[in-house]
Amino acid sequence: MKPRILLVNPPIYDFAAFDFWLKPYGMLSIAGKLRGRADFALFDYLDRMAPFSAGQKPLASDRWGRGRFYFEKIQHPESLASIPRYFRRFGLSRSMFTDFLNKEKPFDFAFIQTTMTYWYPGIREVIEDIRRLQPKAKIILGGNYVTLCSSHAKELGADLLVIGTNLEPLWQYLKITPDLIQPALWEIYDKIKVGVLKLGDGCPFNCTYCSVPKVYGKFRPRPLECSLAEFELLRRLGVENVAFYDDALLFEPDMVLIPFLEAIIKRQSKINLHSPNALNARFVTSELAELMVRAGFKTFYLGFESASSQWQKRTGSKVFSEELAHAVEKLIAAGASPENITAYQILGHPSIDIQELETSMRFVHSLGIRGMLADFSPIPGTPDGEYCRKWVNLDEPLTHNKTAFPIVMLGFDESNRLKDLQRQLNRSL
Ligand code: B12
Ligand code: SF4
């Protein structure tokens, strides 16, 4: 008999959360490799296509498939009590999950997706419910929180933690031989409009605020035929928007992105493509920009962080100001709409003294594109994160919260002033 595996994407406990093409891609990828070798059921608290109550319409989405989640206001956890913003629980209700667990036959295993380190309260809630109502299920956690905060995650009482990207311990625990070339298990959704792809792992840079170099190491492309097969699956399922979760989507484009885009252009795909996880402006050439637009890229998010050359050099030199300006010119010349090009800039980074954030925001504005302040989250194990132990206790992952940390660093008023300024600049484009 095939084992029965429950897949859970937990609710989010945070000040803010928005469905910016969020999918539990790590967990779905693992489940895909077990396709046909196990029976699956999914409970995705963050599936906005799932009705919150019988007969209710799904939540509205914007033209690119993004939108808000259901939420309820809740009490602040103690370590975030001083942050003057509402604290909330986002996603489907707890009773929907408990009803679901009661109805289902026993599961052998339960996989739980972990994402931001500071979202662990949602995982704790899911574990409690599974233990109570499906006591036979062996609980397996994997993903970013488990990888970056392993000791903390051990305390939640799961049966197995899959730390980092080595999946051997998982296959041994399940006693199943995986089929590694299978795409993610997207067909588990009854209805799906947004999908995710990742064409490669790792990144060639070493930014001091980022965990990717340590966790993933050198850049490695994924096999092109697997990415294309996954794209086809998403197309068959009626997906309209695909977001890339790559950390270095534009790196070594001759081997990775260019052949992928050429292949989907040949297939006359109508799917809109998006890059929420920041493109590196340095690698945007005229040819690449033109190909991306032709293949269906609609939104372009560029990682910029600061226009201060001192700050850029101190944090790893991933991109310089003139490179951003050139990339924007090329994207616009290729047909991208300026209102769909956004440059991210870090808010609340500990080297704020040299970041010249306001000047940077005005520089981005002068290019005729939108700016977005990306609140800084201090990540344990990274140089900049470790430096923040001066201000917060990093061993409590709630203190990594991206809304909270800039307020701790800059104060509530200054943080709001900069956010208001960003809104004003964007409005005046
Ligand atoms: C895509 C992405 C996003 C997406 C959304 C992702 C999502 N679903 O929520 C967007 C662009 C919205 C985003 C936003 C942000 N992000 Co982000 N993001 C990522 C990224 C690139 C991938 C995360 C992911 O989905 N991984 C899952 C899949 C794709 O990973 P995988 O390698 O295939 O997984 C392997 C293993 O981990 C394992 N596995 C993974 N999941 C599971 C599950 C199970 C059950 C099992 C068994 C195994 C398993 O198996 C896989 C096979 O090898 C990571 C960096 C990275 N490369 O991991 C940063 C990362 C998670 N983000 C980070 C940050 C800082 C942010 C922001 C704070 C940035 C900002 N200031 O705006 C925001 C926060 C958003 C919020 N609301 O709080 C940090 C983490 C911060 C933290 N404290 O946790 C990371 C690690 C990047 C970094 N700088 O180091 N992000
Ligand atoms: S370029 Fe992006 S993914 Fe790579 S190390 Fe820097 S921030 Fe991380």
Ligand 1 pocket (Cβ < 6 Å) reads 17, 20, 22-23, 25-27, 29-30, 111-113, 115-118, 140, 142-144, 147, 162, 165, 167, 170, 198, 201, 210-212, 216, 245, 247, 276-277, 374-375, 377, 379, 400, 402
Confidence at residue 58, expressed as pLDDT on a 0 to 100 scale: 75
d(CA 309, CA 294): 33
DSSP assignment, residue 187? G
Confidence at residue 283, expressed as pLDDT on a 0 to 100 scale: 97
Q: Six-digit token pair at 155?
A: 């305390």
Size of the chain, expressed as the number of residues it contains:
429
Q: Which H or E element spans position 278? A: strand 272-279
d(CA 260, CA 41): 31
pLDDT 10s digits, 209-247: 999 999 999 999 999 999 999 999 999 999 999 999 999
As to burial, measured by CB atoms within 10 angstroms (0-12 exposed, 13-18 middle, 19+ buried), residue 133 is: middle
pLDDT at 392 over 90: yes
CA distances from 95 to 92, 100, 103, 135, 142 (A): 9, 8, 12, 17, 24
Is 83 near ligand 2, meaning CB less than 6 Å away? no
CA distances from 74 to 12, 156, 342 (A): 12, 21, 32
Q: Quick one: pLDDT band at residue 359, thresholds 50, 70, 90?
A: very high
CA 137 to ligand 2 centroid distance, Å: 37
pLDDT 10s digits, 288-301: 999 999 999 999 99
Atom 1 in ligand 2: residue holding the nearest Cα: 205
DSSP assignment, residue 118? G
pLDDT 10s digits, 85-100: 999 999 999 999 999 9
Is 207 near ligand 2, meaning CB less than 6 Å away? yes
Q: Six-digit token pair at 34?
A: 């077990």
Q: Quick one: pLDDT band at residue 355, thresholds 50, 70, 90?
A: confident
Which ligand 2 atom minimizes the distance to the CA of 247?
A: 3
Helix ranges restricted to H, 253-403? 257-266, 286-295, 309-314, 321-334, 352-355, 357-366, 383-387
pLDDT 10s digits, 4-57: 999 999 999 999 999 999 999 999 999 999 999 999 999 999 999 987 766 777
Q: Six-digit token pair at 64?
A: 């690119």
Q: Six-digit token pair at 193?
A: 């409009």
Q: Report the first-to-last Cα separation within the chain, whole angstroms.
A: 61
Handedness of CA 290, 292, 294, 300 (dihedral sign): negative
d(CA 201, CA 208): 18
Contact 197, 187 (CB under 8 A): no
Atom 8 in ligand 2: residue holding the nearest Cα: 210
Confidence at residue 24, expressed as pLDDT on a 0 to 100 scale: 98
Phi then psi for residue 248, to 5 deg, are: -140, 60
Amino acid at the residue 153: A
Longest dimension (CA), the chain: 63
Q: Six-digit token pair at 378?
A: 């201090």
d(CA 336, CA 256): 21
